[in-house]
Amino acid sequence: MQNSHVELQVDQAEEAALVINVIGRIDGVNAQEFYNNLSRKIDGSDSPVILDLEKLTYISSAGLRSILLIAKTLKGRNTRFMLCSLPDPIKEIVEIAGFDKIIDVLTSRSEAIAEITG
């Protein structure tokens, strides 16, 4: 069994948005912890939120649900939310789940920043 560990790192260098790097795997064991940690990081921020998933190795349905709940929270606050830099296996899961129809999914971090800064 693989280690259930996910790490969130906020990119302080980016001023246009709150960019959060998601590192590791999100599964049924740690999805709630991921959701709670992510909620704390975005709480009180009015900036658009970008989840950079470049270093995400696995996501379960529980992990997808956590992302969907964050998306709904941010939509309720009228705050932009997007995913970027999805590895192919993660991108495939997101597309199969139809999340790419309700959450902006961009190819790269720079594309996501450009989308925000216009």
pLDDT in tens, 57-115: 999 999 999 999 999 999 999 999 999 999 999 999 999 999 999 999 999 999 999 99
Q: Is position 12 within any domain?
A: yes
Give SS3 for 87.
coil
**What mean pLDDT do residues 15-37 have?**
95
Residue type present at position 55: K
Q: What is the pTM of this model?
A: 0.93
- 69 in a structural domain: yes
Only one residue has tokens 């964050």, namely 70
Q: Tell me, what's the pLDDT at 6?
A: 94
Q: What is the Cα–Cα distance from 74 to 48, expressed in whole angstroms? A: 9
Torsion of CA 107, 72, 12, 45, to 10 degrees: 150
Show the CA angle centred on residue 79, arms to residues 51 and 56, nearest 5°.
10
- Alpha-carbon span 54 to 90, nearest angstrom: 9
Write the CATH number for 97. 3.30.750.24
Q: What pLDDT, on the 0 to 100 scale, is given for residue 118?
A: 79
> Could you tell me if residue 18 is inside a domain?
yes
1 part of a folded domain: no
Query: Considering its fold, how many domains does the chain have in total?
Result: 1
- Count CB-CB contacts under 10 A for residue 34: 24
- Expressed as residue numbers, the domain containing 22 is 6-117
Share of the chain above pLDDT 90, in %: 86
Residue 1: predicted pLDDT: 44
